[in-house]
Amino acid sequence: MTDPLTIRVSAGAGTGQTTLAAFDAALAVAGVSDFNLVRLSSIIPPGSRVLEVDGDDQVRGDHGDALYCVYARADTSLPGHEAWAGIAWSRREDGSGAGLFVEHAGPSREQVSKDLTHSLEDLSATRGGSYRPEGRRLVSITCDTQPVAAVVIASFLRTGWGAAAGGH
């Protein structure tokens, strides 16, 4: 029997001289800055566990490993403006552990929260309404003078490159 997939959800916010640098700083706080992110859609496999963690408790790996993940990213470079990112998830009511992630970003907590709720409702309805909300994680940062970014990331699987890197 294999261990269940553990999906770790962490969040971070950061500042930099560019929005890209701010995104990297936010990834560092979330504990995933040294990975190549491979973005997934929003399906939680059956039997999975979802854990909310701090960046220090995110998945570990080698510099440059691929990290399969779902993430929400928000950034702004306008002083006084906010960047909000969030992920919410639901589970099928049959106890299988199968579920759905949704991710949104925007300029306010209210907007991101509403979008997360409405997306979970619609994704559940598309599948017959058999999902119940289970959790959500939001993060924000306000721009002072330099660009800022906020990120929430759900890490599914880390994989190294090994022989697949061109292997000669």
Within-domain flag for 67? yes
78 contacts 19 by C-beta, under 8 angstroms: no
- Helices (H) and strands (E) counted in the chain, each on its own, are 2, 9
pTM, entire model: 0.92
3-state SS class at 134: strand
Instruction: Please write the tens of the pLDDT for every residue from 50-84.
Output: 999 999 999 999 999 999 999 999 999 999 999 99
Q: From CA 149, how far away is CA 72, in angstroms rounded?
A: 10
Q: What is the mean pLDDT of the chain?
A: 94
Within-domain flag for 115? yes
Within-domain flag for 50? yes
- Taking CA 111 as the corner, what is the angle to CA 117 and CA 76, rounded to the nearest 5 degrees? 130
Instruction: Please write the tens of the pLDDT for every residue from 44-54.
Output: 999 999 999 99
Within-domain flag for 1? no
Band of pLDDT at residue 167, cut at 50, 70 and 90: very low
3-state SS class at 154: strand
The reported pLDDT for the residue numbered 2 is 67
- The CATH number that applies at residue 43 is 3.50.20.10
Domain extent for 155:
6-160
6-15/49-52 β-pairing: parallel
The reported pLDDT for the residue numbered 162 is 75
Instruction: Please write the tens of the pLDDT for every residue from 91-125.
Output: 999 999 999 999 999 999 999 999 999 999 999 99
Within-domain flag for 168? no
Q: What is the mean pLDDT of residues 135-152?
A: 98
Number of domains in the chain: 1
Instruction: Please write the tens of the pLDDT for every residue from 26-42.
Output: 999 999 999 999 999 98
Within-domain flag for 165? no
